[in-house]
Amino acid sequence: MSMQPRYTRVMTPSGVRDFLPREAARKRAVEAALKTTFERWGYEEVITPTVEFLESLAQSNGPDMAEKAYRLFDREGHTLALRYDVTTPIARIVATRLKDEPRPVRLHYVANVFRHEELRAGRQREFWQAGVELVGAPGPAADAEIIALAATALEAAGLREFRLDIGQVGYFNGIIAGVELERDVRRALRRALLQRDYVALPQVVAETGLPESKQRLLNELPRLQGRGEAIERALSLADNDGSRAAAENLAAVYRALEAYGVQDRVWVDFGMIKDLDYYTGMVLEGYSPDVGFPVCTGGRYDQLIAKFGVDCPATGFVIGVERIMQALEGQSAPGEDGRPAPAWLVASDAAGRTQAIEAAARLRADGLRVVADVMERSLDEALEYARARGIENVAFFTAGSRRTFHGPGLQEREGGPC
């Protein structure tokens, strides 16, 4: 008999977490690096509400959201939901608050989102994302900028080893266009490709009842991977206008990447499809060998903003902040923990209190990170506290005198910036 967990007031709900000081510092460092990179490319920050009307969020996320959204009701009886993603609220903003802005509009964000996911390794129900949206620009040049910016941002966050996979949803859609498939068969086909279950794929394809030529092409999708040669093979195999146009589009995007110097980071995969229905063209995912889930995902979504009343093309991506943190743990050298350094502890006995406060103020004015002791510890106690906290500089004041200690061993030295 399974036992339900017994929650107490000192526990958190399943799927959410606390960030302790060291983790919080790492998180802010990753977010700051991403934010700085986005702004250098001309993307301006927007902040969307944590709570939206459920109907608004449902414009793009389909039936999956109905199962995974956190719902609530206001006093007027409206059905609300915690923010399920940020792309949909940005689509709402562009179609309403920014509809008269000159195109294209470049926007970025850092935000938490909520999904009632099945709990397993690498998944939370509240998680943090940083992303960009390039709105109002059709064509391969815009998609190439998004891919190049994703590569630049991941490097800026500190990742040394990663790869960006790009695909084109139109290639798969072209194969099954105009074919009547039972809903369960269509979902099974999408699931096999989405989960990269290439063992189940041939069996699912056989159940579709599609012509043999289309079945061969569907089974070939997992092998349409590589670089330029994968695009050439996809073009030669395409047996319909939709798939051919998709391959030609991805070829143009790939050529446009040459100017950015990021092609070595990019891998082509025509078997890639997405779990959100709003993607209409190029799609991308970023992978690190230290994380078993994508650290970055995105693509083109030309029909989403039209659902809010304004026909407008768009493309973008989102980076999972916590997944970047996890990847960095695997790639960082020992001792790299993201905390600002160096730091000072300024301590004193009762007689030296005023001197200590004035010294701390001078150090902070110089841009240093300073902890001022408020416990009136003895010198030995202050040094013990500094070692425990990893503080490598200590100034201790008593009436008319000052002693300073520096370095990992906190050796006493004459002078100093106090």
Per-residue pLDDT of the chain (418 residues), as tens digits, is 455 556 666 678 888 899 998 899 999 999 999 999 999 999 999 999 999 888 888 776 655 666 788 898 989 888 899 999 999 999 999 999 999 999 999 999 999 999 887 776 557 889 999 999 999 999 999 999 999 999 999 999 999 999 999 999 999 999 988 788 888 888 888 888 888 888 889 999 998 888 888 899 999 999 999 999 999 999 999 989 999 999 999 999 999 999 999 999 999 999 998 866 779 999 999 999 988 889 999 999 999 999 999 999 999 999 999 999 999 987 764 444 555 545 899 999 999 999 999 999 999 999 899 999 998 899 999 999 999 988 999 999 998 899 999 998 999 988 666 6
Q: Do both 323 and 383 map to the same domain?
A: no
Q: Do both 121 and 245 map to the same domain?
A: yes
Q: Do both 398 and 292 map to the same domain?
A: no
pLDDT of residue 250: 97
Q: Do both 320 and 398 map to the same domain?
A: no
pLDDT of residue 335: 40
DSSP result, 108-167: EEEEEEE--PPP-TT--SEEEEEEEEEES--SHHHHHHHHHHHHHHHHHTT--S-EEEEE
Domain final position from 287, 311, 331: 331
pLDDT of residue 190: 84
Q: Do both 310 and 353 map to the same domain?
A: no
Q: Confirm whether 407 is domain-assigned.
A: yes
Q: Confirm whether 5 is domain-assigned.
A: no
- What contacts 138, CB < 8 A, 6 or more positions away? 302, 313
Q: Do both 274 and 176 map to the same domain?
A: yes
| pTM confidence score | 0.86
Q: Confirm whether 286 is domain-assigned.
A: yes
Q: Do both 324 and 369 map to the same domain?
A: no
pLDDT of residue 334: 41
* Structure-derived torsion over alpha carbons of residues 174, 175, 181, 184, reported in degrees to the nearest 10: -100
pLDDT of residue 27: 95
Domain final position from 275, 301, 331: 331
Domain count for the chain, please give it. 2
Q: Do both 299 and 375 map to the same domain?
A: no
Q: Confirm whether 143 is domain-assigned.
A: yes
Q: Do both 173 and 42 map to the same domain?
A: yes
Closest CA to 371 of 352, 353, 391: 391
Domain final position from 275, 307, 331: 331
Which amino acid appears at position 345 of this protein?
A: L
Q: The domain that contains 385 carries what CATH number? A: 3.40.50.800
Q: Do both 163 and 257 map to the same domain?
A: yes
Q: Confirm whether 15 is domain-assigned.
A: no
Q: Confirm whether 336 is domain-assigned.
A: no
Q: Confirm whether 283 is domain-assigned.
A: yes
Q: The domain that contains 240 carries what CATH number? A: 3.30.930.10
Which amino acid appears at position 355 of this protein?
A: Q
Going along 158-310, which residue ranges are E strands?
A: 163-168, 225-226, 266-269, 282-287, 296-300
Q: Do both 104 and 179 map to the same domain?
A: yes
Query: Which tens digit of pLDDT belongs to each residue from 336-373?
Result: 455 554 589 999 999 999 999 999 999 999 989 999 99
Q: Do both 281 and 401 map to the same domain?
A: no
Domain that holds residue 55: 21-331
CB 239 within 8 A of CB 177: no
